Amino acid sequence: MDRPTVLSIAGSDSGGGAGIQADLAAFTWFGTHGTTAITAVTAQNPEAVRAVVALEPGAVQAQIEAVFEAFTVSAVKTGMLFSAPIIRRVAACLRQHRPNGLVVDPVMVATSGARLLQPDAVAALLEELLPLATLITPNLPETAVLIGRPIGTPDEARAAAVALAQRQPGLWVLVKGGHAEGPEAEDFLAHEGRLWGLRAPRRAARTTHGTGCSLSAAIAAGLALGQAPLEAVRQGKAYVLGRLGAVARVGPAAWALSPPEALPLAAIHVNEYRP
């Protein structure tokens, strides 16, 4: 039996809820084989990041090369990259190997507030990595950094998605609406002058730690399975919604997202906006 391989280039979460650990859970759930290149080791739990130790860029490159040497990599996702030197080394590797699908989750700040991307690394992300991406998945604060202006309304989020997509031919941009308010969470997906809104009911959960990682990993798995980007995004959003509905207690005051029993695809409503 053939199984597509997906590579996650991201940080390790010692609490198991986000980062590489969440990515592997998503890859497995969708029936793909997960491989990893760890960029940084974090000492964290659902409440706080206690420490971050970044790996040397050469060590990150060695992991990526080892994976491409032995596996047929169908898609790649990047998460926490931490520094400009790591980003430049990752980009060089991806330019060499040219995976069919690259999902870039521009992780900047943890749910707890800890910075996971150094300020001087944003320019490297924009200049080195985004030109290689198939799809990027910024949340609203990350979108504001990438676009260079604040975002306070759905109209501004939609305009930002379109503006980011116009920076590069063929790029898909998913601006996530989880940080907004209201009974529904709407994400905006832009591509070559077209714009879709993907709505889902907002679920009150004990934790949202790892939702961004889970979404981008699920989208990468969908691309590896041959899905079109819009389909992969809808499936990924359903996967996160399912995880939010399957939160489990894992400590005296700690909760974690669990794998869903099934994908609640019917709860994801797709609407195409007029340009």
pLDDT at 113: 60
Reply yes or no on whether the pLDDT at 58 is more than 90.
yes
Mean pLDDT of the chain: 93
Quote the CA–CA distance of 12 and 91 in Å, as a whole number. 20
| pTM for the predicted model, two decimal places | 0.95
Q: Specify the pairing of strand 5-13 against strand 73-78.
A: parallel
**Any residues with CB less than 8 A from the CB of 113 and at least 6 apart, and which?**
none
pLDDT in tens, 95-134: 999 999 999 999 887 665 667 788 888 899 999 999 999 9
pLDDT at 27: 98
pLDDT in tens, 201-242: 988 888 888 999 999 999 999 999 999 999 999 999 999 999
pLDDT in tens, 123-162: 999 999 999 999 999 999 899 999 999 998 999 999 999 9
Which residues does the annotation mark as catalytic?
A: 176, 208, 210-213
pLDDT in tens, 24-56: 999 999 999 999 999 999 999 877 889 999 999
Quote the CA–CA distance of 187 and 210 in Å, as a whole number. 17
CATH fold of the domain at 5-273: UDP-N-acetylmuramoyl-L-alanine:D-glutamate ligase (3.40.1190)
pLDDT at 110: 66
Report yes or no: 87 and 125 within 8 Å, Cβ to Cβ: yes
**CB contact burial 116-155 (16+ within 10 A = b; e otherwise):** bbbeebbebbbebbbebbbbbbbbbebbbbbbeeebeeee
pLDDT at 180: 66
Reply yes or no on whether the pLDDT at 71 is more than 90.
yes
Residue 139 sits at the vertex; the CA angle it makes with 134 and 143, to the nearest 5 degrees, is: 80
Highest mean pLDDT, choosing among 115-119, 177-181, 189-193, 202-206: 189-193
pLDDT in tens, 72-83: 999 999 999 999
pLDDT at 219: 98
pLDDT at 275: 65
pLDDT at 106: 93
pLDDT at 111: 62
